[in-house]
Amino acid sequence: MLEREILDRAARRRPYGRDVRLLVTGGAGFIGANFVHHTVVQRPDVAVIVLDSLTYAGNRASLASIDDRIDFVHGDVADANLVDRLVRGVDAVVHFAAESHNDNSLADPWPFVRTNVVGTVSLLQAVRRYDVRYHHISTDEVYGDLPLDDPRRFTEATPYNPSSPYSATKASSDMLVRAWTRSFGVRATISNCSNNYGPYQHVEKFIPRQITNLIDGVRPRLYGAGRNVRDWIHVDDHNSAVWAILERGRIGQTYLIGADGELDNRAVVRLLLEQFGCDPADFDFVTDRAGHDLRYAIDASLLRSELGWSPRFGEFRDGLAQTVRWYRDNQAWWRAGKASTERNYAAQGETTLR
């Protein structure tokens, strides 16, 4: 059986007497692939097994440079039998696998229910059965949004108030983790992170879409008035925080991950235009997205004070410059998906306003 062979091979390959085998779901997606790269480089004593269904948002090429240092299983996190076989042979699970695009969830919620809800239950049942440490990756979108002029930020005590099928399914998965921890003693932690950016992010997302448009000589596009605020964090900083939680986090605790990177979308686009040497007003407004949250803002003080974590990219401008360089230097990675992404946006009725 393929999964058994992979688990056995991972055990045989462990150098330095290493005894940690880690299952990473969604490890060919944006954040998951960066987490796998981070782990392979920073923690060579950990054997990594990746489970990914390779939907449009998962890209096997994201792992190509480390393919000989990981084991890959092509499969669905909602496949309870497959998940059971994999979890039985590992020491910890980090669950990144998720359908995560708000626009797509508005058009068809069912894939979000299957992956984000059913997939989480299949993992929880397996880690419960084999007493495996579990960390659950979630999003600040479960909290809804904040007014633009409100100084408050999300904390671990903020009530959930999701506003899209995507965020509702992620909120559901968080609640399931808490229930399995309380009812069955599952050794789990949760992290809710602000908006990530960095290498290997699909070109449908805000920052890589603007970067790739600029590379192609196309004006950036902003929903509505471009005043929606996001709290940006470089994906490498997110993943270093996940490891801090895995190693030192309290079981049953939720940690918010953020880097104090609040900026509205218009400011982000102007920074990108500056980095490309363009006029800062050289962008277009398009019809706003349904249910578009106004503002996200993370209070990560618990993570910082309790676990001693801090971001490497303290300045958003520096992380953005690194990201622009990556997309310039890795056009073969994103070029194939660019045209289809733009066709999808056009089909959704994206219309230039001014």
pLDDT score recorded for residue 1: 47
pLDDT greater at residue 8 or residue 41: 41
pLDDT score recorded for residue 19: 75
Mean of pLDDT values over 140-163: 93
CATH number assigned to the domain comprising residue 171: 3.40.50.720
Contact 101, 83 (CB under 8 A): no
Mean pLDDT score of the chain: 92
- Containing domain of residue 112, as a range? 2-200+233-260+295-315
User: Is residue 149 predicted with pLDDT exceeding 70?
Assistant: yes
Give the active site residue among 3, 141, 145, 174.
Answer: 141
Contact 30, 200 (CB under 8 A): yes
Place of tokens 């909602």: 78
Lowest mean per-residue pLDDT among 50-54, 138-142, 322-326, 342-346: 342-346
User: At 351, is the pLDDT very low, low, confident or very high (cuts 50, 70, 90)?
Assistant: low
pLDDT score recorded for residue 296: 92
In terms of C-beta distances under 8 Å and separation of at least 24 residues, what long-range contacts does 109-112 make, across chains too? 109/165, 109/169, 111/55, 112/165, 112/166, 112/169
Give the active site residue among 3, 52, 99, 140.
Answer: 140
User: Is residue 229 predicted with pLDDT exceeding 70?
Assistant: yes
Q: Is residue 347 part of a domain?
A: no
Q: Is residue 222 part of a domain?
A: no
Q: Is residue 25 part of a domain?
A: yes
Burial of 52 per CB tally in 10 Å (0-12, 13-18, 19+)? buried
Domain count, the chain: 1
Give the active site residue among 134, 143, 166, 296.
Answer: 166
User: Is residue 347 predicted with pLDDT exceeding 90?
Assistant: no
Q: Is residue 219 part of a domain?
A: no
Amino acid at 314: G
**Is-catalytic flag, 134?**
no
User: Is residue 201 predicted with pLDDT exceeding 60?
Assistant: yes
Place of tokens 């407004």: 285
User: Is residue 287 predicted with pLDDT exceeding 70?
Assistant: yes
User: Is residue 12 predicted with pLDDT exceeding 60?
Assistant: no
pLDDT score recorded for residue 345: 82
Mean of pLDDT values over 154-179: 96
Q: Is residue 141 part of a domain?
A: yes
pLDDT greater at residue 7 or residue 324: 324
Among the residues of the chain, which ranges form H helices? 2-12, 30-42, 80-87, 102-107, 110-112, 119-130, 165-184, 206-215, 235-248, 265-275, 301-307, 316-329, 331-347
pLDDT score recorded for residue 17: 34
pTM over 0.85: yes
Q: Is residue 211 part of a domain?
A: no
Q: Is residue 274 part of a domain?
A: no
**Is-catalytic flag, 156?**
no
User: Is residue 15 predicted with pLDDT exceeding 60?
Assistant: no
**Is-catalytic flag, 315?**
no
